[in-house]
Amino acid sequence: MADILLEILYTGAIGARMAGWAGDGKKAAIEADHIHNIPHLIKDYSLHRLKWYWEAERESYVKQLGGQPKAFEALWEQLEPLVKKELERVDGTAPEQAA
């Protein structure tokens, strides 16, 4: 899971950098907001942090961009079954299908 999260972090940082160089401060901020908690999720893993990323930060990012960003599709497809497995292991629930 950490490898996927690190790739999401890298992809988001590149997206923020590209938006910044293009002069799009709003998009750069959206990109940065999407990934800013991932280092803590990796360093101090908890189901709460994982669930927060998956259900709150990821969904907010998609909403702010007005749709599913292609840069993260494959990574989120890889992460989704791991998130579901973790949630099912702990409390028997799984999140809704990826946005």
pLDDT tens digits along 7-66:
999 999 999 999 999 999 999 999 999 999 999 999 999 999 999 999 999 999 999 999
pTM, full prediction? 0.87
**Across 69-80, average pLDDT:** 96
- Cα atoms found within 13 Å of the Cα of residue 11, Cβ hemisphere only: 15
For residue 98, the model assigns a pLDDT of: 46
* Range scoring the smallest mean pLDDT among 11-15, 68-72, 78-82: 68-72
- C-alpha dist (Å) from residue 78 to 16, 24, 33, 66, 93: 22, 29, 21, 22, 19
